[in-house]
Amino acid sequence: MDFQNRAGSKPGAGALMSNSESNVARRERLRKLALETIDIEKDPYFMRNHLGSYECKLCLTLHTNEGSYLAHTQGKKHQTNLARRATRDAKDNEQSAAVHRPMLPKINKNVVKIGRPGYKVTKVRDPQSKQFGLLFEITYPEVTDETKPRHRFMAAYEQRVEVPN
């Protein structure tokens, strides 16, 4: 059998790269190129955590090194999250420019009504701080104005720990 015209047939030429080796080489080339062209410190979504790894605050992903983070920024998940964020910001800016009145928290209309006592749990977003929250509305049709509640829900800052006797 004639081996002289096969790939890697010359002495010392070595073998062809496997698929995994070519993927590793490609990732390494992209990482080096991205490190040269992109300044990570100016990226608003880049964060180093206390463990020495890197986080993308937009996608909530962890990365072991800067190259991995840069590869992630070129990926599909990060790009779709960037597009989603841009459309949301554009919509928020459009709403804030159109209306200059004191805004109440935005309440979504897709609520679930379950059983008795009737209650609704609604996702709410504060327009000033952009924070999400839950709004619980409970209705008791049998309760009159003279009825005193047996329980009161308190926030953590309202509670005081009593000194033991």
Cα-atom radius of gyration of the chain, to the nearest Å?
29
> Model-level pTM?
0.43
Q: Place 2 in a pLDDT band, splitting at 50, 70 and 90.
A: low
Provide the pLDDT for residue 12. 59
- In sequence order, the β-bridge partners of residue 135 are 122
Q: Place 83 in a pLDDT band, splitting at 50, 70 and 90.
A: very high
